[in-house]
C-alpha cells in the first residue's frame, strides 16, 4: 500500500457522503461513492479500493449484503462499518459478514482517518460501543450456554483480550491501552484482531441469539 | 492561570456544610456491611444452623455487629456462619482450653484489621513505645502477683490465670491504639472491676449494695469451704446459691446497663449512617444545583430551568421516596446507567459515552453505586474541561463495576485535602458504607479515572 488509502463511501445520505469527503480531505483518496447495495457492489468491484466506508443501514438490504457480495469475489477489499444507531444486532451482523471494524458517526475526523488507515493496514477497529457489545455477547454466552461449545478456543475471550476490550469500551486509544497494560501498541492490535477473528468465526448460535435478545430490552 | 492552579482542588468540591460529619461520616459507619449490617438477633439465617456463602474477602473484624472486639462477627461474616454460633464456639473453646482462648481472642482483636481499615491495631501499636512499656509493666506486675500467690497458696487457679497475663498486656495495647469507638467498649468492660476496686461515685445505695453483695459472696464461700459433717449435701448447694446471688447483686446493674448501651449504640450508628446518606444526597442534588446557578447567574432562562429540575427532583425524593440517582422502580442496572448518562448530558451539556456490559436487577447497593457513578460523572462534567466523559459499566457474576473516565485536565490527588466533600463523601463514603470500593487515579494534564466496584449481594436478585 503506497500513499493514502483509496476509499469508497457507501451511504444513503448524500449530505453525509459529501461531509465525510470534505472533512477527510487529503488524508484519504475517495475513489467512488454509492447510495445503495447494488450500486455499491458495482462501484467497489470496478475500482477495487483499499477500504470501503460502509453505512450499516442501507435501503436495499443493509451493509451486510454489500460485504457478503463483495467478499465472495474480492476478499482483499476491507470494510469499515459506520452507523449512527448502534443497534447491536446490525453491528454484529455486518462484522460477522466480514467487516474489519466498526465506528459510530459521531467519531472525530482525525479518529476516522486513523481508523481507515488501520483497516487498510489489515488491523481491526472497534468503537467503544462495539467493544461493549462483544464483551456482552461473549459473557452472555459463556454463562448462559447450556450447550457445550464446539470450539472453546474460538468461543471464549482470553482475560487479556477482555482487558483490552474493557479499556476500548472506556474510550481509551490503543496507545493509552498499551501504556496501561504495559504492552506494545502492536500487541494491542493483535489482541483486537484476534477478538475480531473469534467474533467472525465462532459458530455458536448464542451470538445471534444474544443480539436478538438485546433488541428486546 | 491562577484559576487553573486552584481548580484541581475545586474538582473535589470545597463546600463543606456538614463538616461535623467528618470526612466519611461518623465514626463507625465504616463497619456497615450493606444488607448484612442490620441483623436481627440471629441474622437472616435463622438460629445457628443455616450457613450462607461467606464474603470470600479478607478477614475483617465487623465493628458494626460486635459484642467485644467484633472478632466473632468478623469470622461469621467471613465464613458465612451465624454470628451467635461463632460466639458460642468461642466461649466453649475458652472454657475447654482452661482460659487459653481468651488471650487468643485478644490476639485476634490485635491482629485482624477492622472492616474498612487496612491496618490492624497491632501495626499501629508497634510505634507506640510507651504503650508497649506499659503493657510489659502491667504483665510483669500481674505475673508477679500470680507467682507470689502460687507460692503461698497451693491450688491457686494459676493454670487458668497465667494466660490472662497476656490478655492484660494485649488489652492495654488495644486500649491505647484502638479507635475511640473501641476504647469505649473496653471502658465498659473494665467498669465493674473499677467499681469493685473503689466506687468512683460513692453513694448510699451503691455502698449498701456492695456491702450486701460482699457479705453474700463471703458467706457463700465460707459455707462452701467449711467441711461440716452434718448437712454435707445441703451446705455446698446453699453456698453456691449465696455466691450467685452475691454476684448478681454486684454485677446486675452493670449487666442491665451493658445491654441497654449496646442497643443505644447500635441505634446511634444507624442514625449516623442515615445522616451521612442524607448529607451525601443533598450535596449531590441541591448544593450542586446551587453551585451551577451561581455560575450561570447571567442566564435567567438557564437558572429557571435548573431550579425547576432541582425542585422536581427534591419533591420526588421527599414525597415519593425516589432519589435523584435512583432509577424508576422497574428499571434495571443498565437502564439506571442510561438515566445517569441522560441526566448528566441534559444538565451539564456534556456528552457522555456510556457502555454497559451485562445487566441485572437493581437493589440498594447498586443504587448507591449508580449514585456514586453519577457523582463522579458530574464532577468530571463540572471540573475536568474534557470534551467527553466515558462511562463503562460491567455486571459480572460476583460484582458490578463502573469506570468513569475523562481526558480533561486532571488533578493531583495528593494536594486535595482528605476532608473535602465531593468525591470523598459522595463517592468514596457511599461505596464503602455498602461494602464497595472506590479508586481515583488522576494526574495533572492526563484526565481522571474513577473506578467503582460493588460486590453483588449473596441473595439472588428478584427475591423479596
Q: What is the pLDDT of residue B348?
A: 82
Q: What is the pLDDT of residue B158?
A: 56
Among partner residues B358, B388, B405, which is closest to A136 by beta-carbon distance? B358
CB-based contact A217 B359, cutoff 8 Å: yes
- pLDDT top residue among B305 and B46: B305
Q: How far is CA B254 from the centre of its chain?
A: 25
Average pLDDT over residues B406-412: 82
Q: What is the pLDDT of residue A178?
A: 92
A30: β partners: A7
How many degrees, rounded to 5, is the angle at CA A185 between CA A184 and CA A188? 95
Q: What is the pLDDT of residue B174?
A: 78
Confidence of residue B339 (pLDDT cuts 50, 70, 90): confident
Name the grid cell of B216: 453474700
Average pLDDT over residues B133-146: 78
pTM above 0.90, yes or no: no
CB-based contact A169 B397, cutoff 8 Å: no
CB-based contact A170 B359, cutoff 8 Å: no
In terms of average pLDDT, the best of A8-12, B345-349, B354-358, B440-444 is A8-12
The DSSP bridge pattern shows strands A125-126 and B352-357 to be unpaired
pLDDT at B20 over 60: no
Listed residue (B253, B393, B271, B287) closest to B334, CA to CA: B393
Among partner residues B332, B359, B390, which is closest to A170 by beta-carbon distance? B390
User: pLDDT, tens digit, for every residue of B40-58?
Assistant: 444 444 444 445 555 556 7
Question: Which residues on A lie below 8 Å from B449 (Cβ)?
Answer: 170
In angstroms, the separation between the Cα of residue A189 and the nearest Cα of chain B is 21
Write down the H helix ranges in chain A. Answer: 14-24, 37-47, 63-73, 88-97, 109-120, 128-144, 152-155, 159-169, 174-181, 185-201, 206-216
Q: What is the pLDDT of residue B119?
A: 74
Q: What is the pLDDT of residue A2?
A: 56
Please tell me which residue of chain A has the smallest CA distance to B401: A166
Q: What is the mean pLDDT of chain B?
A: 72
CA dist A123 → A79, A116, A185, B38 (Å)? 11, 10, 12, 54
B401: β partners: B394, B453
DSSP category for residue A152: H
Q: What is the pLDDT of residue A49?
A: 92
Q: Which domains does chain A have, with CATH numbers?
A: 6-122 (3.40.50.2300), 130-216 (1.10.10.10)
Average pLDDT over residues B385-410: 87
* Predicted interface score ipTM higher than 0.90: no
Amino acid at each position: 500500500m503506497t500513499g493514502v488509502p483509496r476509499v469508497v463511501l457507501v451511504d444513503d445520505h448524500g449530505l453525509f457522503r459529501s461531509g465525510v469527503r470534505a472533512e477527510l480531505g487529503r488524508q484519504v483518496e475517495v475513489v467512488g461513492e454509492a447510495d445503495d447495495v447494488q450500486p455499491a457492489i458495482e462501484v467497489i468491484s470496478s475500482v477495487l479500493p483499499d477500504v470501503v466506508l460502509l453505512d450499516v443501514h442501507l435501503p436495499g438490504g443493509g451493509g451486510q449484503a454489500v460485504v457478503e457480495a463483495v467478499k465472495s469475489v474480492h476478499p482483499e477489499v476491507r470494510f469499515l462499518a459506520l452507523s449512527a444507531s448502534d443497534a447491536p444486532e446490525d453491528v454484529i451482523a455486518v462484522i460477522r459478514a466480514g467487516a474489519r471494524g466498526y465506528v459510530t458517526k459521531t467519531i472525530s475526523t482525525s479518529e476516522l482517518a486513523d481508523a481507515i488507515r488501520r483497516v487498510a493496514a489489515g488491523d481491526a477497529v472497534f468503537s467503544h460501543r462495539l467493544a461493549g457489545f462483544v464483551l456482552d455477547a461473549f459473557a452472555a454466552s459463556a454463562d448462559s450456554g447450556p450447550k457445550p461449545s464446539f470450539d472453546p478456543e474460538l468461543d471464549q475471550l482470553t482475560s487479556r483480550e477482555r482487558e483490552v476490550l474493557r479499556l476500548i469500551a472506556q474510550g481509551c486509544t490503543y496507545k493509552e491501552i498499551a501504556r496501561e497494560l504495559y504492552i506494545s501498541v502492536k500487541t494491542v492490535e493483535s489482541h483486537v484482531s484476534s477478538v475480531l477473528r473469534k467474533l467472525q468465526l465462532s459458530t455458536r448460535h448464542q451470538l445471534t441469539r444474544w443480539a436478538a435478545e438485546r433488541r428486546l430490552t | 492561570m491562577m484559576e487553573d492552579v486552584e481548580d484541581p482542588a475545586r474538582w473535589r468540591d470545597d463546600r463543606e456544610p456538614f463538616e461535623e460529619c467528618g470526612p466519611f461520616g461518623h465514626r463507625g459507619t465504616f463497619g456497615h456491611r450493606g444488607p448484612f449490617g442490620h441483623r436481627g438477633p440471629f441474622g437472616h439465617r435463622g438460629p445457628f444452623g443455616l450457613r450462607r456463602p461467606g464474603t470470600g474477602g479478607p478477614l475483617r473484624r465487623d465493628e458494626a455487629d460486635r459484642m467485644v472486639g467484633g472478632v466473632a462477627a468478623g469470622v461469621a461474616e467471613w465464613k458465612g456462619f451465624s454470628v451467635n454460633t461463632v460466639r458460642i464456639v468461642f466461649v466453649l473453646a475458652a472454657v475447654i482450653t482452661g482460659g487459653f482462648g481468651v488471650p487468643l481472642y485478644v490476639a485476634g482483636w490485635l491482629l485482624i484489621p477492622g472492616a474498612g481499615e487496612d491496618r490492624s491495631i497491632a501495626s499501629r501499636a508497634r510505634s507506640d513505645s510507651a504503650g508497649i512499656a506499659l503493657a510489659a509493666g502491667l504483665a510483669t506486675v500481674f505475673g508477679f502477683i500470680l507467682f507470689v500467690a502460687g507460692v503461698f497458696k497451693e491450688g491457686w487457679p494459676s493454670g487458668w490465670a497465667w494466660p490472662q497475663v497476656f490478655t492484660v498486656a494485649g488489652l492495654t495495647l488495644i486500649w491505647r491504639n484502638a479507635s475511640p469507638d473501641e476504647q469505649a467498649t473496653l471502658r465498659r468492660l473494665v467498669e465493674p472491676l473499677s467499681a469493685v476496686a473503689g466506687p468512683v461515685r460513692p453513694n448510699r445505695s451503691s455502698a449498701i449494695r456492695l456491702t450486701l453483695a460482699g457479705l453474700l459472696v463471703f458467706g457463700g464461700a465460707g459455707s462452701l469451704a467449711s467441711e461440716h459433717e452434718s448437712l454435707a449435701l445441703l451446705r455446698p448447694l446453699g453456698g453456691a446459691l449465696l455466691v450467685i446471688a452475691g454476684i448478681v447483686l454486684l454485677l446486675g446493674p452493670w449487666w442491665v446497663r451493658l445491654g441497654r448501651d449496646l442497643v443505644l449504640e447500635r441505634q446511634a450508628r444507624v442514625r449516623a449512617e442515615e445522616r451521612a446518606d442524607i448529607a451525601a444526597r443533598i450535596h449531590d442534588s441541591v448544593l450542586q444545583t446551587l453551585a451551577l446557578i451561581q455560575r450561570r447567574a447571567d442566564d435567567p432562562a438557564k437558572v429557571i430551568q435548573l431550579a425547576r429540575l432541582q425542585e422536581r427532583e427534591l419533591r420526588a425524593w421527599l414525597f415519593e421516596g425516589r432519589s435523584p440517582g435512583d432509577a424508576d422502580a422497574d428499571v434495571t442496572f443498565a437502564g439506571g446507567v442510561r438515566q445517569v448518562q441522560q441526566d448528566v448530558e441534559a444538565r451539564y451539556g456534556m456528552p457522555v459515552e456510556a457502555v454497559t456490559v451485562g445487566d441485572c436487577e437493581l437493589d440498594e447497593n447498586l443504587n448507591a453505586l449508580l449514585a456514586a457513578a453519577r457523582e463522579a460523572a458530574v464532577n468530571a462534567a463540572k471540573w475536568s474541561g474534557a470534551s467527553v466523559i466515558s462511562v463503562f459499566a460491567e455486571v459480572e457474576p460476583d460484582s458490578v463495576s463502573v469506570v468513569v473516565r475523562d481526558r480533561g485536565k486532571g488533578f493531583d490527588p495528593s494536594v486535595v485535602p482528605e476532608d473535602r466533600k465531593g468525591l470523598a463523601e459522595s463517592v468514596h463514603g457511599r461505596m464503602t458504607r455498602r461494602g464497595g470500593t472506590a479508586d481515583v487515579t488522576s494526574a495533572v494534564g492526563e484526565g481522571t479515572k474513577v473506578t467503582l466496584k460493588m460486590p453483588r449481594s449473596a441473595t439472588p436478585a428478584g427475591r423479596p
